Chain A
Amino acid sequence: MSNAEAMVFVIDDDESMREALKSLIRSVGLRVETFASAQEFLESRRPNVAACLILDVRMPGLSGLDLQRDLVERNIHIPIIFITGHGDIPMSVRAMKAGAVEFLTKPFRDQDLLDAIQQALDRDRLARSHQAETAELHHRYQSLTPRESEVFGLVVKGLLNKQIALQLGTSEITIKLHRRQVMEKMDAASLADLVRMAERLSK
């Protein structure tokens, strides 16, 4: 995926800083949208594209760290790059532990910020494709019949067809048919592939 679609959000209460960041980010060909407060950002409609957030820690109202927690609570996953005028170590540790991509102290080197943005966008893309894959797996799993689901569960536990047939009170031939059906519907190339899918589905 390219940067063309990606979006960078900037939240900073200082207008000069917003303008400067906007210009810098646009100069490398990225799309950018700025907000003066966390509330403004939360109220905005965001396009469903790879994105990251550049967030000032110290703002009136909802602070950057508050917003980070808020987003997690709302199940909104967007990589965050913190920028701060006077970051202390406990603050940056807190931010990083809560999943921030980077914690930059103003003034920062432009390359550091741009690298962080790239990293954040990559992370978001990965998360998005991962999410899409998982959604696809769930979709496939939903297409299984109840009996196929049962067979699926027992197969990935490592049981042989004979054992499964015994447990479900049916013939080994029937289980073989179900099993082929499961492999086909789940689009699994091998037993190992199917086990890996089962793991992701159970998360």
Chain B
Amino acid sequence: MRKLWRYGIAVVTVGAALLITKSLEQYTDITPLFYAAIVISAWFGGMGPGLLAVVLATVALDYYFIPPLYTLRPDLKQISFLLVFGILAVLTSWMSAKRKRTQEALREARDELELRVEERTAELRQANESLRERGEALQEVQTELAHVTRVMTLGELTASIAHEVNQPLAAIVTNGNACLRWLGGASPNLTEARQAVDRIIKDSYRASAVISRVRTLVKKAPARSDLVDLNDVILEVLALAESEARRNHVLLKQQLAGDLPFVHGDRVQLQQVILNLIINGLESIAKSNSGSRELSISSTKDEANNVVVAVRDSGDGLDPANLQRVFDAFFTTKADGMGMGLAISRTIIESHGGRLWATTNAQKGAVFQFTIPVDGESAT
């Protein structure tokens, strides 16, 4: 049906050209309208209808305009005219059809492009959305972890805070009493009394500073006992620490034992310990400005049936005098440190029946490692 319509264009346009040219014969040249008919046919119908228009136009010219009129046998003189017309007509038809095809191909290509751009945009939007969701989930995990740091250790924390605050308070009370005694009696000693009051003021600030340091820390989460694959925990934590490592240009390495037994413990707390050790290592490397920037974490099983996790950094290492002290609550070498991380970590590990200790790395930096005993029934 559509094909018939395309060829019909050729018939109709050539017919129209013939009628108009015939009626205006004495005012115009005979070929332009026929060319127009061929161009239109080729444009709208394609190459086939274009060629049909050429044939019809040549026949019409020969029959109606070329002497002898009304015959299909042209004068010998006119054959060259018809020949030239025919060739030009074919060329015209071909160019028109081709032009049209090119344009259509272009439009199709453009349409397709638009479609694809739309599709890709939708895909991107979706990817963005899921990224955002994952970012939120990650943030939640981080927040949760951060929360845990402050939490589980309530026992340790309150003991430490109590000690830290009580110390200056005891000094204040004692100085207060001393001051009263220096003021009493027959000849009050104002110099001594004044010095005691100065110390009272100093210790009051000290107590207040302790309180503001710990004000941010609060709450409590009950320890759980899960079967934990420490390799899994390490990988999760490494994923969390990755951006921090990249920011500090530190290479994270891992050496995980393939056949690591499961241990019993609180997954989140153990995550916390490992994260704490890794972050400490990264901070130590960040502070140091020489040599390799590498942090490696390994897991193994020792002969005593313990899982051993070691975190080695290439930072400046520990002062041998501080190897033990770093685990004391409120001991810190960082300007903004609370001095709680390692104290808490040691508490966690000990509550799992293990040990956490520090050594100096053979080459450079520090090694923090902990053991968790594998109990027989939970080993897999």
Contact = CB atoms under 8 A, between A and B. Distances in A.
Interface string A10-51: 000010110111011011100000000000000000000000
B182 interface: yes
Contact of B163 (A21, A86, A110): A86
Interface stretch (B5-13, B170-178, B262-270, B347-355): B170-178
A107 B196 contact: no
A58 B166 CA distance: 13
Contacts of B328: 60
B215 to A, nearest CB: 20
A196 interface: no
Nearest to A83: B170
Contacts of A180: none
A27 B181 contact: yes
Given A27-B181, A27-B182, A86-B159, A21 B166 contact: no
A17 B166 contact: no
A107 B175 CA distance: 11
Contacts of A14: 167, 171
Contacts of B139: none
A47 to B, nearest CB: 24
Given A85-B166, A106-B166, A21 B174 contact: yes
Contacts of A85: 162-163, 166-167, 170
A202 to B, nearest CB: 46
B334 interface: no
A20 B178 contact: yes
B192 A107 contact: no
B167 A106 contact: yes
A106 B192 contact: no
Which of the listed residues A16, A19, A106 has the most CB atoms from chain B within 10 Å of its own CB? Answer: A16
A106 B169 CA distance: 8
B223 to A, nearest CB: 23
Interface residues of B, number: 28
B193 to A, nearest CB: 9
Interface in B143-183: 159, 162-163, 166-175, 177-179, 181-182
Contacts of A58: 163
A28 B189 CA distance: 12
Contacts, number: 79
B230 to A, nearest CB: 32
Interface residues of A, number: 21
B169 A16 contact: no
Interface in B312-331: 325, 328
Contacts of B177: 24, 109-110
Nearest to A20: B174
Nearest to B206: A16
Contacts of A106: 166-167, 169-170
Contacts of B175: 19-20, 23-24
Nearest to B189: A27
A86 B162 contact: yes
B77 to A, nearest CB: 127
Contacts of B168: 16
B170 to A, nearest CB: 3
B171 to A, nearest CB: 4
A16 B166 CA distance: 12
Nearest to A104: B170
B293 interface: no
A27 B163 contact: no
B195 A23 contact: yes
Given A27-B189, A107-B166, A110-B177, 19 more contacts: A16-B171, A16-B202, A17-B171, A20-B171, A20-B203, A21-B174, A23-B179, A23-B199, A24-B178, A27-B178, A27-B181, A86-B163, A107-B169, A107-B172, A107-B173, A107-B174, A108-B173, A109-B177, A110-B173
26 contacts: A16-B171, A16-B202, A17-B170, A17-B171, A19-B175, A20-B175, A20-B196, A20-B199, A23-B175, A23-B178, A23-B182, A23-B196, A23-B199, A24-B175, A60-B325, A60-B328, A85-B166, A85-B167, A85-B170, A86-B166, A106-B166, A107-B172, A107-B174, A110-B173, A110-B177, A110-B178
Interface of B: 159, 162-163, 166-175, 177-179, 181-182, 189, 192, 195-196, 199, 202-203, 206, 325, 328
4 closest A-B pairs by beta carbon, nearest first, are A106-B170, A110-B177, A20-B174, A107-B173
Interface of A: 14, 16-17, 19-21, 23-24, 26-28, 58, 60, 83, 85-86, 106-110
